[in-house]
Chain A
Amino acid sequence: MGSKHIAAIVIAALGLGVVSTPAAVAEDFSKGSKAEEFGLVGEKKATFSGKVVDVLCELSGDCPADCGAGNRNLGIVRASDNKLVLVSKNAQFEFNGPVEDLLPYCNKEVDVDGLMIGEDPGVAAQVYMLQFIRNKGEAEWTKADKWTAAWNKRNPDSQGEGPWYRRDPRVVKQIEKNGYFGLGHEVDEKWRAENQ
């Protein structure tokens, strides 16, 4: 095969679109998304397919059973570009993470809908707010709102008035120990005296 033939193959490949720049294949993940918007930093609607993974397993090969059984941060390896998307938040509004919503899909292919947020990748980070999830190709979406119910199940002795975060034993322990600002109760009381 001569050099002219090889050059012709390259040109043909270019013509077929086999050789393309990353920008040319960048996907618009907002297409078809029904995610609720909040005006967060760098917010973009994003619906895509991928595989739910244990992030540390994906990075290091340290892979416990069941994606860490709720003790590990989970993410999604996006099918279209193989990018690891860290999922940081579910669709609830009470300081809830996404693990309870993702764990049933550990190592499974899913479709998700939500928001990418954040800017400046490499310094800060872009992460994902999961709002809806389903097994790949299913018709019905499941809302990502399982965290508080799971907390209630884990904490039968912490039921009572107010939201979970006022009753959570680990939170209560730290506030009892170091106060709301973390500097001791005297600092809290000084602020309260001046501001409440």
Chain B
Amino acid sequence: MKILQVASLCLAVIAPAIGTFTGLSASSARAANAGEPIEIKGEIIDTWCYLSGVMGGPDAVVGTAHHTCALWCAAGGIPVGVRAEDGTVYMVLKVKGEDALAKTDTLMEIQSDVILAKGVHYVRDGVNYLVVENVVANDGITNKNHEDFGPVPGFAIPEKQ
């Protein structure tokens, strides 16, 4: 019995370590899972500008100030996200049965809007992903931060001819 206990302990120590050594992390085991149902309220954002800081701080690259750039990035195939009220960013992979990069108007129509969505949440290696099954409510664009920042980037609104 004592030997069995020691052997179990050894396996418990060695097994995860071998996984680390061989590169077979826990993510292998959880690849292709069912995800978790989620209801989430947040703003539809351009994730590249938001995460990279390429155009300024996070307050400037959301809302009305960044609306045109968000359209450009969504049309450009950069991942669209939902920034939840607690700041968590969810990468949108599908909306109402449509793949996120489908060349349609579905995601374009809701750029910068604050939505309440029901869907499925996946998380892997520190990134949150979201399959939006239904947009339950849409408050439209509520963050009128162009009053503080103007358009971001500044050339988003062309000079009037």
Contacts and interface: CB of A to CB of B under 8 A. Distances in A.
Interface stretch (A87-95, A106-114, A136-144): A87-95
B122 A38 contact: no
Interface residues of A, number: 78
Contacts, number: 235
A154 B32 contact: no
Contacts of A182: 64, 67, 111-112, 141
B126 A174 contact: no
A156 interface: no
Dominant SS at the B interface?
mixed
Contacts of A18: 14, 17-18, 21
A40 B53 contact: yes
A149 interface: no
A125 interface: yes
B84 to A, nearest CB: 10
A33 interface: no
Contacts of A95: 69, 72-73, 75-76, 78
B27 A165 contact: no
A183 B64 contact: yes
Interface string A68-98: 1011110000011111111011000011111
Interface of B: 2-3, 6-7, 10, 13-14, 17-18, 20-21, 23-25, 27-28, 31-35, 47-48, 50-54, 64-65, 67-69, 71-73, 75-79, 86-89, 91, 93-94, 99-105, 108-109, 111-112, 120, 122-129, 131, 141, 144, 146, 150-151, 156-160
